[in-house]
Amino acid sequence: MSKPIYVHEYQAIVEVLNQYNEGGKHAKSSIMKPAFNEQATIFGVDADGKLAGGPIQSLFDTIDNPPFRPSPEAQGVIVTIDIVGTAASARIDTNDISGFCFTDFFNLLKVEGKWMVVSKIYHTHVAP
């Protein structure tokens, strides 16, 4: 049996994840940056099957530079949020963001009363 998810905590996490989604749609890292801890990381697997990533700044640099572009038509959905005390995980699936489709997994911590993303891993789907 799973533990209860408190509505207030859930809503606070949704707000953080929405900052990420909106930053991607507008291609502006300044919108999504507040969702992330400054020490956060991002990792994925590149086209050669190798681990790629590091400090979250690499995500911000990608979002702010071509070929990444605003994608008002992008559709993202929060698939899951799992909360235990001050720790949480979440999954977002996004279609057609700058021509890509992603599944993102986030780890969040509630630090000094505020939820923040401390790590992101992702999978890039083959374009349809």
Q: What does the H/E/C string look like for the chain?
A: CCCCCCHHHHHHHHHHHHHHHHHHHHCCHHHHHHHEEEEEEEEEECCCCCEEEEECHHHHHHHCCCCCCCCCCCEEEEEEEEEECCEEEEEEEEEEECCEEEEEEEEEEEECCEEEEEEEEEEEECCC
Q: What's the pLDDT tens digit per position in 12-26? A: 999 999 999 999 999
| Residue 2: per-residue pLDDT | 60
Domain ranges of the chain: 7-125
Which of 3.40.50.150, 3.10.450.50, 3.40.630.10, 3.40.640.10 is the CATH number of 7-125? 3.10.450.50
Q: What's the pLDDT tens digit per position in 94-119? A: 999 998 999 999 999 999 999 999 99
- Whether 80 shows a pLDDT value over 60: the answer reads yes
Structure pTM? 0.92
